[in-house]
Amino acid sequence: MNKKDNILYFFIVALLIHMSLFIVHERGVKGDAPVSLKTNVAPISVKIKSPVKKESQKAVTPTPPKEEKKPEPPKIETPKKEIVKPDVKSKIKDKKKKVEKVEKKQIEKVETIKEEKVEATKNTASNETEEILASGNFSIGKDGIFTASSSDGIEYKILKQVEPDYPIQAEKIRYRKKVIVSARFLVGLNGEVEKIEITQSHKKFGFDSEVEKALKHWKFHPIFYKNKNIKVYFSKDFIFEPK
């Protein structure tokens, strides 16, 4: 045999020995009976321990003995002091009453002042009316409007004045006489003629109607007397002369 063949032979024998030892070791671990080999190696026996349950592995802690509670010493109650609260409500009520009294006094003062003002205005109005009535022939209506019975002592301004025409009826019959017609008329607050009254009449041929037509077109500036807008009665004679 060659050297190479000898080396391979020994290598294969060594490999088999190692494999048999590995198999024996594995079977011993799994609990199989030991296998005896023809080789001079003694069999290996392995003791397998039974698996321990996890619950047994837990350490059991002993319960400590219960401590006896010592009796607590009796509590000594200290007497509570009564806290005297200040009577705030009564003070607030007193303040409210004082404020209400002050307000009532102020209201009474205001009312008295108003009454005094009203009386003063009444007195001034009565004084003015007395002055107006004393200075002229005035009358006061239910609406409080002053009306002068005549224009004596009163300033006025005529804005529009229309003279009456000679009646056509008189011209047709060739009436050639001089005629005088007297009228009394009232000028209102806005300066327009409100009432017309013929005091001296000439009923024939339409002389009175011509006077009334003319007066309806008259216009006065609103008449004031001592800062009062008043109505005034005027009297006028209208003279008709033939053409």
Q: Please tell me whether residues 231 and 179 are part of one structural domain.
A: yes
In a domain, 121, yes or no: yes
Residue 13 in any domain: the answer is: yes
DSSP 34: P
Residue at token pair 């009454």? 115
- Asked whether residue 67 is domain-assigned, the answer is no
Output phi, psi for 165, to 5 deg: -85, 155
Q: Which of residues 135, 169, 193 is at a domain's end?
A: 135
Q: Where are the alpha helices (DSSP H) in 136-174?
A: 168-172
Domain that holds residue 38: 3-45
> Which amino acid would we find at residue 130?
E
pLDDT digits (tens, 9 = 90+) for 159-199: 999 999 989 888 888 888 889 999 999 999 999 999 999 99
Q: Is residue 211 part of a domain?
A: yes
Question: How is residue 229 annotated by DSSP?
Answer: B
Model confidence, pTM: 0.46
Q: Which residue has the higher pLDDT, 230 or 171?
A: 230
**Residue at 76 is within a domain:** no
Are 35 and 110 contained in the same domain? no
Cα 208 from Cα 198, distance rounded (Å) = 7
Reported as a single tens digit per residue, the pLDDT across 48-62 is: 455 544 444 444 555
> pLDDT-based confidence at 68, cuts 50/70/90?
low
Whether 55 maps to a domain, the answer reads: no
Asked whether residue 103 is assigned to any structural domain, the reply reads yes
Distance, in Å, from the CA atom of 138 to the CA atom of 136, rounded to the nearest integer, reads 6
pLDDT of residue 28: 60
Kindly give the pairing relationship between strand 146-148 and strand 231-240: parallel
